[in-house]
Amino acid sequence: SSPRLIWYVDVDGWVINGYDYAEGHHADLSPGSPDLPRVRDAVTALGEELTPCPVNVPTLADQWGRLAAWRRIRRDGGVQGADSWIRENLDRFVAWEQDGLEALGRGDTLAHTDLHELNILVGSRVQVIDWAWSRRAPAWVDPAVLVVRLLAEGHSPDEAEAWAQGIPALRGASNGTVTAFAVTLLGVWEYVVRHSSGSHRQPLVDAARTWVHHRLAGLM
C-alpha cells in the first residue's frame, strides 16, 4: 500500500501534497533479511491493485523510447573509452533495446519504476512512497527493477531472480522479455552515469551489468 493523500495545494505552478504519516523503517533488501517476504507480498499486491492503470500517466515505453539509450550511446560515439564488452556487443544491445521497448508498450499497470530500499517502508504494513517516476507499464516492471537492487545489496543473480520470480507478474513474463528489459535498463543507467555526476550511481550500473551478463550467458 501507500500513504493516503489527505490534502494538496496547487498554486502558481507549485503542488504540495500532504499524506498520512507513514511509520516504519527503510526496507532491508540484503540476503537473509526478514523484510524480503513482506516486500515481495507488497509488490505483488501493488501490481494486482494497480492494473488496469487507475490514473492518466505517461508510459514508460514512451519515456525510455525517447531516450533510446543504447542507440544514443552508439550515435554519440559511446564506444570510445568503453570497455571491450560494450564495444563488442553494442549493436546487439541496440537490438535488444528495441525488443525491450516494444515489451514495455504491452502493459497497463501503474508501475512505480524506482523501487529501492529508501522508497519502501516496513512497519505494521509495507508502504511504498515517492511515486514521482510512476509510469504506465507492464506489471512485471517493478519486480524486474528490484532484481538490480537485490544484486546491489549482495544477492547472486540466481538468488535475486528466484526472489523476483515469486511475484506472479514477473513469473508470467517470457525469458526473452526479461532479458530485453535487463539490457534496456542497463542502457538507461549507462547513459545516466556518463552524463551526470554522482558516484552513488556506479554501484547500480555495476549491478545492472551483472544481471545482463547473467541473462546473456550462453547467448553471446
Per-residue pLDDT of the chain (220 residues; tens, 9 = 90+): 778 788 878 888 888 888 877 789 999 999 999 999 999 999 999 999 999 999 999 999 999 999 999 999 998 876 665 788 998 999 999 999 999 999 999 999 999 999 999 999 999 999 999 998 999 999 999 999 999 999 999 999 999 999 999 999 999 999 999 999 999 999 999 999 888 866 678 899 999 999 999 999 967 6
Q: What pTM value is reported for the model?
A: 0.91
R_g (Cα) of the chain, nearest Å? 18
Residue 153 — left, alpha, or beta (φ > 0 → left; ψ -120 to 50 → alpha)?
alpha
Question: Cα-flanking dihedrals φ and ψ of residue 203, to 5°?
Answer: -60, -35
Burial grade of 77 (CB within 10 A; 0-12, 13-18, 19 or more): exposed
